[in-house]
Amino acid sequence: MDSVVIVGTQWGDEGKGKITDYYARRSDYIVRFQGGNNAGHTIEVGDEKFQLHLVPSGLLRENKKAVIGNGVVVDPKVLIDELKRLEKKDIDTSDLILSDRAHLIMPYHKVEDELYEKLKGNLKAGTTKKGIGPCYMDKAARYGIRVVDLYDPKSFKHKLEKIVPVKNKIFQSFDVDKRWDVDEILEEYLEYAERLEGYVQDVSVQLERALERDKNLLFEGAQGTHLDIDHGVYPYTTSSNTTAGNASIGSGIGPKNISSIIGIAKAYTSRVGTGPFPTELEGETGEYIRERGNEYGTTTGRPRRVGWLDLVMLRYSARVNSLTSLAVTCVDVLAGLDQIKVCTDYRLDGENKREFPADIESLYRCDPVYKKFEGWEEEEWSTIADKGYEALPENIEKYLEFIEKETGVPIKHVSIGPKRDQTLEK
Do residues 57 and 43 lie in contact, with contact meaning Cβ atoms separated by under 8 Å? yes
How far is the C-alpha of 228 from the C-alpha of 240, rounded, in Å? 6
How far is the C-alpha of 56 from the C-alpha of 66, rounded, in Å? 6
Residue 42 C-beta: closest distance to ligand IMO, Å:
8
Q: Which of 106, 132, 193, 196 binds ligand IMO (CB under 6 A)?
A: 132
Amino acid at 325: S
What does 238 bind: ligand IMO, ligand GDP, Mg ion, none (CB cut-off 5 to 8 Å by kind)? ligand IMO
Please report, as residue ranges, which positions from 278 to 297 form the binding site for ligand GDP (by CB under 6 A). 293-294
Do residues 336 and 299 lie in contact, with contact meaning Cβ atoms separated by under 8 Å? no
Residue 266 C-beta: closest distance to ligand IMO, Å:
11
Which one, 206 or 241, has the nearer CB to ligand GDP? 241
Which one, 52 or 102, has the nearer CB to ligand GDP? 52
Please report, as residue ranges, which positions from 187 to 246 form the binding site for ligand IMO (by CB under 6 A). 222-224, 227, 238-239
| Spatial CA neighbour of 109 closest among 150, 80, 141 | 141
Please indicate whether residue 53 is annotated as part of the active site.
no
Helix or strand holding residue 322 (H, E): none
DSSP per-residue letters across 209-255: HHHHTT--EEEE--S-GGG-TTTSSTTSS-SS--STHHHHHTTT--G
Exposure b/e, 82-118, CB count within 10 A at least 16 = b:
bbeebeeeebebebbbbbbbbbbbbbbbbbbbebbbe
Q: Which of 7, 8, 38, 318 binds ligand GDP (CB under 6 A)?
A: 8
298 binds ligand GDP (CB under 6 A): yes
415 binds ligand IMO (CB under 6 A): no
Do residues 375 and 340 lie in contact, with contact meaning Cβ atoms separated by under 8 Å? yes
DSSP per-residue letters across 162-190: HHHHHHHHHHHHTT------HHHHHHHHH
272 binds ligand IMO (CB under 6 A): yes
Do residues 271 and 279 lie in contact, with contact meaning Cβ atoms separated by under 8 Å? no
Question: What are φ and ψ of residue 310, in 5° steps?
Answer: -120, 110
Q: Which of 37, 238, 270, 298 binds Mg ion (CB under 5 A)?
A: 298
418 binds ligand GDP (CB under 6 A): yes
Q: Which of 44, 138, 228, 310 binds ligand GDP (CB under 6 A)?
A: 44
The binding track of 14-33 with respect to ligand GDP, each residue x by CB under 6 A or -, is: xxxxx---------------
106 binds ligand IMO (CB under 6 A): no
Which one, 37 or 407, has the nearer CB to ligand IMO? 37
Please indicate whether residue 13 is annotated as part of the active site.
yes
Active-site residue, selected from the candidate residues 21, 41, 231, 413: 41
13 binds Mg ion (CB under 5 A): yes
* Residues contributing to the site for Mg ion (CB under 5 A): 13, 40, 298
Q: Catalytic residue positions?
A: 13, 41
- Residues forming the site for ligand IMO (CB under 6 A): 8, 11-13, 38-41, 125-128, 130, 132-133, 222-224, 227, 238-239, 272-273, 298
